[in-house]
Structure 1
């Protein structure tokens, strides 16, 4: 497993303090402590994540290597809205995910414009290539 989350049944998975300091559960615990009066349920609701899923991440009973990047970004935005400083990099690292490059509206608009100019067969090929690049980035 390439992420830093423990998984159920892993021997001594909860006894490694280094692992606990670097994983998503530890990050969420720390950030929630910096948001007095806010709960896991508040975070789940505002980030658009089901409470059972968030709770499983917090209890380290569900891995984090496949979390949708938009969910990680949503949690960053919730904490920022609550006045708790954090960064996407911090979340992606804690989840054991590759850190995506910056994406700006201009870059995304350019990519979409190019995509729309391609014939349908090339659009499908581009999507396959992009999915392959994403898979490779998750491995390395």
Structure 2
């Protein structure tokens, strides 16, 4: 949904109700979006390929999201978009207090894998530890 007239070169603006609310946590964001699209937590869990229990814990804030696979957040956003929501994966990451991962490419992934495979075991372990630290610090 957009508001206001559009002129060449203008960036379409989302309606105020479509924008993530400042400081909104993951539970509030997902609850609002589920209400907007008329679906349940069970619907979302099934569509995103996660358990209802896990999703319910995230929404209630009784389980942290610092170690959640980024693909889970992407699947949540995709499921909601499939039902008509305007949510983006970045909105879900921000609401969860996580940095939005950069885009990936098969070429970069293959290059990293080639480098990894060329390293001795000790260096492979060190690379994994370093990558994990980078992922946590964002």
Same fold by TM-score greater than 0.5 = yes
User: What residue in structure 1 maps to residue 82 of structure 2?
Assistant: 81
User: What residue in structure 1 maps to residue 104 of structure 2?
Assistant: 103
Cα-Cα RMSD: 2.2
TM-score between the two structures when normalised by the length of structure 1 = 0.71
Structure 1, residues 20-46: CA drift from partner, whole Å, max 9, x if none? 95100111012112323x211011112
Tell me how far 1:53 sits from its aligned partner: 1.7
User: What residue in structure 2 maps to residue 133 of structure 1?
Assistant: 134
Q: Which runs of 5+ in 2 are unaligned?
A: 1-20
Tell me how far 1:95 sits from its aligned partner: 0.3
Q: What is the alpha-carbon distance in structure 1 between the residues aligned to residue 70 and residue 132 of structure 2?
A: 14
Q: 1:29 aligns with which of 28, 31, 36?
A: 31
Total equivalences in the alignment? 118
Q: Which runs of 5+ in 1 are unaligned?
A: 1-18
What secondary structure is seen at the aligned counterpart in 1 of 2:37? coil
Tell me how far 1:68 sits from its aligned partner: 2.6
Distance 1:63 1:123, change over 3 A: closer
Q: What is the alpha-carbon distance in structure 1 between the residues aligned to residue 70 and residue 101 of structure 2?
A: 9
